[in-house]
Amino acid sequence: MTMSTARQSIVPPPFHAFYDAYRFSPTTRVGDTIWVSGQVGIGPDMKTGEG
């Protein structure tokens, strides 16, 4: 089996403007591995999560 090493940026719709401006992707997938940046989680209301 051949494993893909192509990088895939995963950008949720609310982050597209930020990605377009700074080319920063909150998540990147390479093969079967997903790399997540160290960001604080926010809800749909753009406020930080409880806890």
Q: So what's the pLDDT on residue 33?
A: 93
Q: d(Cα 13, Cα 2) in Å, to the nearest integer? A: 31
pLDDT at 24: 86
Which residue, chain included where needed, has tokens 């992707």?
25
Per DSSP, 23 falls in state: -
Pairing of strands 27-30, 33-36: antiparallel
Q: What is the pLDDT of residue 10?
A: 92
Q: Which residues of the chain have pLDDT under 70?
A: 1-3, 51
The pLDDT of residue 38: 74
The model's pLDDT over 28-42, given as tens digits with 9 standing for 90+, comes to 999 999 998 877 777
In DSSP terms, 26 is beta-bridged to none
Q: What is the pLDDT of residue 8?
A: 93
Question: Rounded to 5 degrees, what angle do the CA atoms 17, 22, 26 make?
Answer: 75
Read off the pTM: 0.57
